[in-house]
Structure 1
Amino acid sequence: MTDLVQAQDPVVMGVLNVTPDSFSDGGRYADVDAAVAHGVRLHSDGAHLVDVGGESTRPGADRVDAETEVARVLPVVRELTAAGVPVSIDTTRARVAEAVLAAGADVVNDVSGGLADPDMARVVRDAGCPWVLMHWRGHSRRMRDLARYTDVVADVRAELAHRVDEALRAGVAADRIIVDPGLGFAKTAEHNWELSARLPELLDLGHPLLFGASRKSYLGQLLADPAGQPRATDGRAAATVATSVLAVAAGAWGVRVHDVRGTVDALAVWRATGRPRLVPTAPPYPGPPDGRGPVVGAGRAGR
């Protein structure tokens, strides 16, 4: 596979949840044949990687055991790689990652940033594969209680820097590391918006950055109807595309999305218009949006 870590074009990672309880498409691809067909479709739509996950990490989700997770993902990964589809494995467990890498997966996407399983660094080091280190503070059951920051961007940056340092100390090559701010993981909607607005501060870490806003609840809140009912997950595609293009324009290495084709099309427009880049402006982040425009005079979230 082409070394995507060094890719000059934005990398699109397509989401494939082979779970019964993921927040957006849980149960839709729990069957192996359905999962493989969808993974092939994501790749044909333009996904550079298909990210296969066998354990839901939505807020409040219960954990499954390693045996269940392996049983869900391994047959799907084997068939996808046999079909020539590049695969990443969305897991926090070294045992799962090791099994799936042996079956042909190319990348480990670890939402815990290596915190959930200290043996993950060894697996990644020995495989020599790219490792996505996401900002994380705890498992799904308790993540809402952990969304407390002095300055969310500064705190996330510092905690990600520590995860990177730990990975390097474990022998993982610097050019194998990708970082992810972990939108929605121990983050409020305000935190997500501020991280998005100040993305260049996270790029200062010096590693490629993966951005994953796809269909998340804060987009549903932004698009709520006049009665305050959040937009359903299947109505968040346009907002997801917008966040993805803005993240790439701010310097993100890649985006993780459910709706691959719309994202790929939007990035084609971005390239055709000269790959414009967002330049940080002097005024401070104005606060979370309410659908009517910026909040004048609002302070930064978490302060």
Structure 2
Amino acid sequence: MATSDRLQLKVADLHCEARDVMVLELRASDGAALPPFTPGAHLELYLPGNLIRHYSLCNDSVERDRYCVGVGLARDSRGGSRYVHQNLRVGSTLATSTPRNNFPLELQADEYVFIAGGIGITPIMSMIRACESRHRNWRLYYCARNRQRTAFYEELRSLAPERDDPRLHFHFDDEQDGRYFDAAAVLAGTAPTAHIYTCGPEPLMRAVEAATATHPQDRVHFEWFTAAAVDTAGDRPFTIKLASSGATYEVPPGRSILDVLEDHDLGVPYSCREGLCATCRTGVISGIPDHRDSVLTAAERASNREMMICVSRAQSEVLELEL
């Protein structure tokens, strides 16, 4: 079934969960148990044309017989979501990674606040299922353009069937007379011990980021769809040193550390090249990185022990890496 960290899975089922949202159920062809995953994890799907796309697992993490991923059809699709929606059928085979988790749920927390925008509900569904099975307190604020585009609506309603259940809140753009989701008002008074998890489009993420500026940062968690824009006008060259060989290479403006390593036939595993997936996570021995990824927490960035070499650069003249 698997070669190293790659799986060959079959599409056992697929269905339309909401307008432009498809859920795929993936299983091993031989019925074997799949590698375990934790709430918030995702799979890489390896699609034709050398496309690699990341989709969050939305089923219960205790399940070992299947993976379920939700795929929203992007309006500006670069081919990945369009291929899934238009070409996959029951019985199709897919190459995937084993599950990876850059958005893990803190299982020991007493209270959780989830904020989802659109297809950003997918990792949060797995988290809510974990909270339910552990009898933990949770609240969900789910933003969507309209009810027709609201994935898992019926299932969420079954978890909180009362209309005034304080755990479940929907914000439908077309029913709000132009009013945006007010993250600051929603999060005002949130206990400092609560863990806040947000996944959705950038405007929503930025609003939550601003609203949680005074919340303990080790309790605020984000899963970004796309990499944040970075001003590269002031980029300057720097040198990397490889600890294993002592070799040094210059990284000029406009090129990444990963690019330079590839120029010298020094392959490092990577996937997104956008600082979103953490496949190229690399240890830092000395020097100060200029972190430009969307994965590391504030504490991890401050420690300067790791960096994503597909996008991040250096503040110091030299970086020595665990390569």
TM-score (norm 2): 0.31
Higher alpha-carbon Rg: 2
Kindly indicate which of the two structures has a greater share of residues assigned to helix. 1
Structure having greater relative contact order (Cα 8 Å, sep ≥ 6): 1
TM-score (norm 1): 0.33
